[in-house]
Amino acid sequence: MRVDKLKLINFRTYKSLSFLPSEGLTVITGENAQGKTNVLEALFMCAFGRSHRTSKDNDLIAWGTENEMGGGCYIGLELHSRSGSHNIEIKMRPGEKKKIFIDRAQAERTGELMGMLNVVMFAPEDLSIIKEGPAERRRFLDMEISQLKPSYYCNLQRYNSVLKQRNALLKDGGLDRAKQLFMWNEQLAMCGAKIMQDRLEFMDILSGISCELHKNISSSKETLDVFYSPSVGFADDMGDIIKVKEKIITALERAEETDLIRCYTSVGPHRDDITVKINGTDVRAFGSQGQKRTAALSLKLSELELIKRISLEKPVLLLDDVLSELDDMRQRFLLESVSGCQCILTCTSIDSVRKAGLNDFEEYNCKMGYLTKV
């Protein structure tokens, strides 16, 4: 899979951009706050239909262009995959819902984008996968499974919609709200059971890959273990969706009194987590900064390998100023691991790329919203 062309109009710092990345490695250099990451953000949006930096589409429209004739911003992308050549377009105007077009036809749902462009993005903030709370690790799960299984994304959307309705009922304060919960419990459990099955299947594969990668990065000095930690125990029933659904309903009913007091749903896939251990010790709680970085790198590279195995093609890799966060050994391992993939890398200086032993790449310099080939 590769991106052939990216076109931007009034997107962030770019009034107009036509970018043709190399089939191999493309390096975008420039000082901070010049617009390097905006290129990666636009590519990310074509994969997921949303930014990785903001939930507000209006933030993406170049400042001062909102009132221009036909005001708004445009992202256009041409790509090639095993299924042939495709075109993705995203159009945003102030105060309006964004419009997504796939091969010139307007998509009814964002979920239609999933799997069209598979990307793996690694930025310094991805250390939050290890360092921060469960929400970051669930986000990691949800984004990667959605690329590989678009039905997962649609089911997750339904689950979140039902969860919102159930939480609204819990906050309502009506006398009969307890009687109405059974209806939402049934819907939440059905969607939740499918989500849990897909997460377990994904983690079973990912854990094996990440363990092997981590062993190589650490020169066999460390053993990485990654576990799916659902908020609802399922024991050996995971293969039977009806049994999983019943367990979720039971857990919801047991937590009902607490939920009514706290006014939110306390159990379900929205409370799941991933446990990461090195040599049997929880990395988040007791790992060094180096171990957390290595564990995060192992997870992200596992994602790359898993997409290759399941989709049978290589994803596009987006590396946002990540070399500055890694020592020389981890830099080399990262860049060796992504060999053969189309990769777009941002950094403040080309020296860091050359230091990592890379010489075969195309370089662009970014300054004040302009991208110039070097």
Residues 243 and 229: their CA atoms lie apart, in Å, by 18
Cα(355)–Cα(357) distance, integer angstroms? 5
Q: Which helix (H) or strand (E) holds 26?
A: strand 25-29
Burial class (CB within 10 angstroms; exposed 0-12, middle 13-18, buried 19+) of 22: middle
Q: Quick one: average pLDDT of 282-297?
A: 89
For domain 127-312, the CATH architecture is Up-down Bundle (1.20)
Per domain, the residue ranges of the chain are 127-312
* 191-248 confidence digits (pLDDT tens): 999 999 999 999 999 999 999 999 988 889 999 999 999 999 866 666 688 889 999 9
pLDDT of residue 179: 75
Please write the tens of the pLDDT for every residue from 303-317. Answer: 989 998 888 899 999
**pLDDT tens-digit readout, 88-120:** 999 999 888 999 999 999 999 999 999 999 999
**DSSP-assigned beta bridge partners for residue 90:** 75, 100
The candidate with the shortest Cα–Cα distance to 75, out of 123, 12, 121, is 12
As a whole number, the mean pLDDT across the chain is 90
Lowest mean pLDDT among 43-57, 157-171, 217-231, 353-367: 353-367
| pLDDT (tens digit per residue) in 170-192 | 988 666 777 788 889 999 999 99
3-state secondary structure of 127: helix
Q: Which helix (H) or strand (E) element contains residue 99? A: strand 99-102
